[in-house]
Structure 1
Amino acid sequence: MDFESTVTRIYEAAADPDLWPLILHDLGELVDAAGGIILTRRADAWTGWRCSDLMNSRTTDAWMAPGGGAARTQATARLIAFDRAGFVADNEGFSEQEWLEDSVMSEWCGPLGLHHCAATVIPVPTGDLVLVQLNRRAGKPPFDRADIARLDAFRPHLARAGLLAARWRLERLRAAAQALAIIGLPAAVLDAGGRVLAANELIEAMRPHIAWLPKDRIALIDPAADGMLRRAFAGVTYPAAASARSFPSKGATGDPAVVHLIPISGAARELFGGGLSLLTVTAVATPAAPDAALIQGLFDLTPAEARVARAVTQRKTVEDIASEFDVSKETVRTQIKSLLAKTGCARQLDLAMLLAQTTQGQPRQTRLSESSRADLNVGR
C-alpha cells in the first residue's frame, strides 16, 4: 500500500465517510487482517459506524443494536484502561479463553469467521469516542509488535481525521439551528444525554418553558413533559431505531406549548451524526374561533366532529359543548373519542393543543422543518 495515498484518503474521509470502507480494507491488507470497522460512541452508546465489506453484515447490526452484545462486552473498557495512544492486540488484554467467551467474539466476530483483533480508541474533544478495530480470520496468529507498529504509524492521522469530522459536523449543526431561527422556529440540537450542542436565540428566549442546566444541559419546566423528554432521549441513542416524538408541555405560568424531538439521523452508519436530535418548542396561542372547515379537511372529520373539535380548541368542557349544540354529554364524549382516534392524540388537552397549533400555520412549519432536517443531514 502507498502510505501517503492512504493518509490522504484518511483526511478525505473526515468529510466523506463513504471512504472509510476502502481505508479499512487498505489498513487490513497492511497487517493481514480480513476486515475492519470504525465506530463512534457517545454517552456510553455506540452511535454510528462504518466497516469493510466482511463486517458489513446483519451480525454487526445485531451486535450494535440495543440489548445486543455491544452492551455486554468487556473489550471496550479494557481497551480504554490501557490509556495507550496506539493500537492494542486482543491478547494483551484478554486470555484466550476470556476472548472467546466475550460477546465481541461469541456474538460478533466469531460468527463472521474472525478471531484476533487489534484496536485503538481515540477520545475527541466534542465528547465522542472513536474506535478503530481490525480483525484476522480464524486460524491466523495474533497481531505482533511489528503489526502494531505498522498500524500506529497511521494512528495520529486517524485521530486528527476524527477530530475534523466531529468539528465540521458541529459547525453544520450550529448553522442549521440558526437557519431555523430565520424562519421563526425555536430549535436546539441535543445529544442523547440532553446536552445542547447548538441552539438558536429563539429557543434560548423560551425561559417560561425551558430550564438551562449546568454543563450545557436542558430540561422542561413541566415535570411530566420533562419526563417524556428524558424517555424520548433514550429512543435516539440508537439511530436506526429512532423516531420523532411530540408531546404537550406547560410553561411556568401554565401557558401551553408543543414539544417535538426529531432524530437528525435515521441510519446507523453516519459516525458523528448518530445519537443526535432536534428539539423544537412551539408556544400555542388559543385561537378565538378556528375555522371548522379547515379542521374538518385536515383530519377527515364529519361536520359534527369538526364543530366539537373547534369547541375543544377553545377549551370548552363537555358540558359546554353539549349545551351549545343541544346534544347529550355522551354524544359529545363519543365524538371526542373519535377525534382522538383520528388525530392520534391520547388526551383532550393534547387534542386542543394540536388543533390550535395546526390552525395557526403549522403546515408551513412542517414543510420548513422537513427542509431543515434535510439540511441537518447534509455531509454525513
Structure 2
Amino acid sequence: MTVVDAGRLATDFTATFGDPPDGLFLAPGRVNLIGEHTDYTGGFVLPFAIDAATTAAIALNDSGRLRLASRSQDGVVAVDLASLAPGAVTGWAAYPAGVVWALSARGVRVEGADILVDSTVPTGSGLSSSAALECSVAVGLRDLTGVDIGPDELVLACQQAENEMAGAPTGIMDQTASLRGAAGHAVFLDTRDQHSEQVPLDLAEHGLVLLVVDTHVKHQHATGGYADRRRSTEAAREALDVEALRDVAVADLEAAAGRLDAVTFRRLRHVVTENQRVLDTVATLRSSSPAAIGQLLDASHASMRDDFEISCAELDTAVDAARAAGSLGARMTGGGFGGSAIALVHAEDVDTVTEAVRGAFADAGFTAPGVFPVEPADGARRVG
C-alpha cells in the first residue's frame, strides 16, 4: 500500500481554495492485531499503524469559517465556526469538523481554516479510515497553532469528535494506534488509563507477512450492530456491578452465567476471553516469533463469530480459506459486520493464500476481495 502524493495534494489545495496550504499532515490507518470490542469496556488492545494513511493539507485564516474538501467527495463543505456543534455537520465532514470543535475546548483556537484531505485507507474496510482522517487534522491544527497538547489529549479529542459529532460510539484504540504507531511495533494499550507500550512486531525479520482481506462489505459504526453490542456490554457491567468488564476474570465467567441472560453472557464471555488473548499475545511477541500467535488469532475469530456475533459470511469465508491454504492464524479485524480479515502467513505462502481466498469468494458468488499486505508503520506526523 502507498500514501498520498503530498506535492500533488498541495497543488490541488491551491486550486481548490486559491492559496497554498500552511502544511501537510499524515495519519495512518490501523490494523487491530487482536483485542476487539475491548477498548470501550476498559480493556486491552493490540493494534498497529499501517502503511496506508490519510493526508490533510491545512491553511489557517481569520475567516470565521471552516471549509472542508476531499478528493473522494464532490464540492466543498463550509460551516461557520460560531455555529459548530454536534449536528451542524453531517457525513464525512463531521469527522474533521468534530476535531476542530473538540480541540477548541482544549485550547486549540481556530479562527478559520481550509482543509483538503485524501487517503489510501479504504473506507468501510475496518482499517479505521475515520481515525486516520481525525488524527491528520488534529496533528495539523496542533502544529499550526503551536498549542502544547500531548498525544493522549489528542486521542480524547478525536474520540469526542467521532462520538459526539459523527455519532459513532467508538473507544480510543484507533486514534491511539494512529498517533502512537511505530514501524516494526504494535501498540499495547490499556484503555482504562491510556498507558501504552511498544511491542515488537517485525514481521519481515521472521519471514512473515500479514495479509489484509478487504471483503468490500461496508460497515458503519454510527449505526446498527456496533451500538447494540456496546449496549450489551454495558448491561453486563451493570448486572455484575463492576467498574469495567476488564475487572471480570476468565475464572469468574461460570458464576456470571447465572446472573445474565444467554445473549448478554455470550457478549461478556467474548470481552473477558479477548482481554486474556491480548495479554497472551503480548507475552508471546515479547518472548518468541510472531508465528507463535496463530492460535490466538484463530480463537479470537471464533469468539467474535460465535459469542459476539459480529462476523459475516464473507469474513468467515476469508478466514476459513486462509487457514485451509496454510496461514498460521486468521481473524476478522475491526468493528465487524463487514470490513476486513487478517491472515498471518509465511512470506513464501502469500500467493497461495491470496489465490485461495479469491477462489473461495468466487465460488461463493461474493464480490472479489482486495488482498494486500500491511506493515507496522510510524504514526501521525507532518509531511510537508
Shorter-chain TM range is under 0.3
* Greater C-alpha radius of gyration: 1
Give the number of the structure with larger relative contact order, counting CA–CA contacts within 8 Å between residues 6 or more apart. Answer: 2
**Structure 2 length as normaliser, TM-score?**
0.24
